[in-house]
Amino acid sequence: MQATPADIFSGVTVLRLENGDEAVYIHGLFLECADIAQGDKPLTDIAARLAGLLKIPFRQITLPVPDDEEWCWNDIADALLTGTGSGGTGV
């Protein structure tokens, strides 16, 4: 799914990787992440409730796990915003 800057920078966005890892952004600002393999609890439910309480949009974007072992969440968000990828090859 290709996100537009309006999608990322409006409301609460959960970026979810195919391995279950998640990151939460509010109006484009990184808030928190969960590493499911390390036993972190998923953040999607809390993020959705937060969006409801704040009366702002909520969206979840599911992406492949990046090929680059040195990736970070902001690399993925930047790739979505610039249209250079979805967090897969090259990120």
Amino acid type, 59: R
Per-residue pLDDT of the chain (91 residues; tens, 9 = 90+): 555 666 667 899 999 999 999 999 999 899 999 999 999 999 999 999 999 999 999 999 999 999 998 999 999 998 888 876 554 433 3
What pTM, to 2 d.p., does this model score? 0.83
Domain boundaries, given as residue ranges, for the chain: 5-82
Give alpha helix (H) positions in 21-72: 44-54
The amino acid sitting at 6 is A
Residue of 20, 21, 25 whose CA lies nearest to 59: 25
Answer whether 81's CB lies under 8 Å from 34's CB. no
Q: Per residue in 35-52, pLDDT tens?
A: 999 999 999 999 999 999
